[in-house]
Amino acid sequence: MEKKKIVIVGAGVAGVNAATKLVDNGYPGELITIIDMGSDPYKRKPEEVMTGFLGAGGWSDGKLTYHTAIGGQLSKYCGEEKAMELMDQVINNFKRFHPKPEEVQCSNPEAEPDFIKPYFGLRLFPVWHVGTDYLHEIGKNWYDYLMSKGVIFKWETKIEDIDFNNNIAYTHNTHIEYDELIFAVGKSGIDFAQELANQYNLPDEPKSVQIGVRFEAPQHHFQKLIDISYDFKLYRKYEDEGVSLRSFCTNNNAAYVAVEETYGDHSYNGHAKKDMRYRNDMTNFGILMEIQGIENPFEWSRNVVKKLQKNGTGLYYSPTRKPSTTSEGGDVTVTIVDDLTDFYEAMGDYAKYIMDFIGDMKKIFPTLGSDWGIYIPEVKYLSPEPLVNYNNLSLTTYSNVHFVGDALSARGITVSGAQGIYVAEDLLEK
């Protein structure tokens, strides 16, 4: 194996899994440098949701999806069988550094219940539950392991430019040279990825828009379905209109809504605490619309998200309820609105698909009625997704630069980590 200097930008799920695969297989840690603009797991604060060791995955609700149809950006590169094997490796890493690995459990629902069939499809797939509360400890154990292997970390260090032609990454006052670069900046680095894509004119894949709301209601309304599938995925398709909707990332028992800040605008997501001290008996999930055929989907989404800001935050609407508190007992940063005028103005006719979805949920969960609220918007920015070589996720125009994780539209912990490992395997083979 030829030993090269590997620089990983982003200590998120993808970057950390890549480094782990390398050192597990004898690659010298001293040749691996991981640079992150956030903090190490001992210093990372709860409000640092997107940055630091394990990235957005480190403060997530720790649900590891285990199916190639979810966050589908894996099997397209490596095939179904290899995708499952890579996901196994990610899940094993989370177990390996977990203080109580026996508590990592897999829910694997099988039957689609009759009561939802007239209105929705239900996508059923296995999910491994790590637990938000344990991620902190997992992060520390994992970090200690990589440090013990000699991996070099540079914290609170932002990469601001990369010279792909001369293999140099720049911070504001220094630079680092690399032989191979793993670009793993996640969602918090999406602006930077876009800048590089523009600067180097990187060819990319056509993308859809993914936008909607974070829905929240008392859990008992959904219990019948939660008993079948903890992280249920309701979906429906309007083929002719190029629109499909799905419920996304369901949190139960101790379920909280989290604010995401991208490009200075607020959008919403959710997480669940495993420690039952935090139990609030709420359920939250995204209702996400995938819209095909919009020109410049990235700009379109950003524009809609911008229109949905009021007083510097996103919106909350409910016929009867108030927003829930955060797990620390604070307010979720949101502006309460009395009606959906702003929502309809920003989304146009697309708002109706979401309201129909909620209307039909009321039919299959009869106690729901007006006992719900929505945090507006929830958004998944899918751009940019540069074209990569399928065997090692390297740019088609720069073969030593590998894009992984959310920077390659992975959308999720297992797929992001798996992509990191996939690249590491190729580097080990070289």
Ligand X SMILES: Cc1cc2nc3c(=O)[nH]c(=O)nc-3n(C[C@H](O)[C@H](O)[C@H](O)COP(=O)(O)OP(=O)(O)OC[C@H]3O[C@@H](n4cnc5c(N)ncnc54)[C@H](O)[C@@H]3O)c2cc1C
Residues that bind ligand X (CB under 6 A): 9-15, 35-38, 49-52, 55-57, 60-63, 65, 158-159, 184-189, 192, 249, 258, 260, 269, 271, 405-407, 410-414, 416
Residue 170 pairs with which residues in a beta bridge? 161, 175
Minimum gap (Å) between residue 92 Cβ and ligand X: 16
79 three-state secondary structure: coil
Q: Residue for token digits 């379109």?
A: 300
Distance of CA 98 to CAs 133, 142, 421, Å? 11, 9, 19
Minimum gap (Å) between residue 254 Cβ and ligand X: 13
CA angle 290, 405, 379 (to 5 degrees): 30
Query: What is d(CA 430, CA 425) in angstroms, rounded to the nearest whole number?
Result: 9
- Which of 361, 356, 387, 341 lies closest to 289 in space, CA to CA? 356
Minimum gap (Å) between residue 319 Cβ and ligand X: 26
Contacts of 330 (CB under 8 A, 6+ apart): none
Cβ–Cβ < 8 Å for 74, 80: no
Give the nearer residue to ligand X in terms of CB position, either 211 or 243. 211
Cβ–Cβ < 8 Å for 11, 52: yes
Structure tokens at 273: 């605490």
Give the nearer residue to ligand X in terms of CB position, either 6 or 351. 6
Minimum gap (Å) between residue 141 Cβ and ligand X: 17
Percent helix, strand, coil in the chain, to 5, is 35, 25, 40
- Which of 293, 139, 265, 292 lies closest to 190 in space, CA to CA? 265
Measured torsion, CA atoms of residues 137, 229, 358, 215, in degrees rounded to the nearest 10: -10
